[in-house]
């Protein structure tokens, strides 16, 4: 099913139902351990007040998420290199961060390549509703797959989820192991997860732009890949994910003249 800019309707907009703050790597951004929230006095409009390390959340000019619509996109040339995925099964490593449910990738071969550059998968996590907007509308839930290249430059692949008649098997397996409390961690070597099962088929079409982490410290210079095609999950799966976190969504940020490229 094509992810049309003006067509997030029906199950995609059912009522009721993040890049995560600090990457779980030795090179965590400055200020990553500081407390912040999605609501109240520590919510998005106050992130820059919490610490000097979070100033980009207010002063940044290339922030994420953004609203993608036909008026702000430019079609890429036909020969533009496309992103390629190289994911393999890995043991479950789940963390309830207090802001999102996050899966920590093992240092294996799981990676993507774009224009000849390889980015290693670090982690992926979920937001509900989805942080990206398409013609002003958000999906019920999204996933951000965070990657880094050898120089530490980040690339995030965003996948949108919509509700359909069938559950997603990979998400179903993850739901069995999610830690209930904030700060909880669960490792399950007996269960192997392939992130490819959470990607749309095919994965050829996407939008790309230069943005930032969507949580403090809101660091910029992040390459974003917004896959057009959504992935279907069941209503029960969405409800189960929203029991953990709902409204962990940063508001839309100004485009400030940035170019959004559509790759088909």
Distance between CA atoms of residues 264 and 261, nearest Å:
10
* pLDDT in the model for residue 29: 47
Contact 254, 63 (CB under 8 A): yes
Residues labelled catalytic: 99
Dihedral, 234, 240, 241, 242 alpha carbons, nearest 10 = 110
Residue 92 has pLDDT above 60, yes or no: yes
Please write the tens of the pLDDT for every residue from 23-56.
433 344 444 568 899 999 999 999 999 999 999 9
Pick from 25-39, 95-109, 194-208: least confident: 25-39
Q: Which CATH superfamily is domain 10-22+53-263 in?
A: Alpha carbonic anhydrase (3.10.200.10)
204 versus 118: which is more confidently predicted?
118
Q: What is the model's pTM?
A: 0.87
With 60 as the cut, is the pLDDT of residue 145 above it? yes
Q: State whether residue 65 is helix, strand or coil.
A: coil
Q: What is the mean pLDDT of residues 210-220?
A: 97
Average pLDDT across the chain, whole number: 88
Q: Where are the domains of the chain?
A: 10-22+53-263
pLDDT at residue 21, as a whole number: 42
The band of 90, judged by pLDDT with boundaries at 50, 70 and 90, is very high
Whether residue 38 contacts residue 18, with contact meaning beta carbons closer than 8 Å, is answered with: no
Min mean pLDDT across 68-77, 168-177, 251-260 is at: 68-77
- Is 204's pLDDT higher than 50? yes
Quote the pLDDT of residue 50.
95
């Amino acid at each position: 099913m094509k992810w049309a800019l003006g067509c997030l309707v029906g199950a995609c907009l059912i009522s009721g139902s993040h890049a995560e703050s600090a990457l779980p790597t030795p090179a965590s951004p400055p200020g990553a351990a500081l407390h912040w929230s999605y609501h109240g006095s520590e919510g998005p409009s106050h992130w820059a007040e919490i610490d000097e390390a979070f100033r980009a959340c207010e002063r940044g000019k290339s922030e994420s998420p953004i609203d993608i619509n036909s008026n702000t996109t430019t079609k890429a040339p036909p020969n533009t290199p496309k992103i390629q995925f190289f994911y393999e099964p890995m043991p479950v490593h789940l963390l309830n961060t207090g802001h999102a449910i996050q899966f920590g990738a093992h240092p294996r071969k799981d990676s993507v390549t774009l224009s000849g550059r390889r980015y290693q998968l670090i982690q992926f996590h979920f937001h509900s509703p989805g942080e990206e907007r398409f013609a002003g509308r958000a999906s019920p839930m999204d996933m951000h797959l965070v990657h880094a290249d050898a120089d530490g430059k980040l690339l995030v692949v965003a996948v949108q989820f919509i509700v359909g008649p069938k559950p997603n098997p990979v998400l179903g397996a993850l739901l069995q192991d999610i830690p209930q409390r904030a700060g909880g961690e669960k490792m399950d070597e007996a269960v192997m997860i392939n992130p490819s099962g959470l990607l749309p088929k095919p994965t050829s079409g996407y939008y790309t732009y230069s943005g930032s982490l969507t949580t403090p410290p809101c660091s910029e210079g992040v390459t974003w890949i917004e896959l057009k095609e959504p992935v279907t999950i069941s209503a029960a799966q969405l409800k189960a994910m929203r029991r953990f976190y709902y409204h962990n969504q940063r508001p839309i940020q100004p485009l400030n003249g940035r170019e959004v490229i559509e790759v088909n």
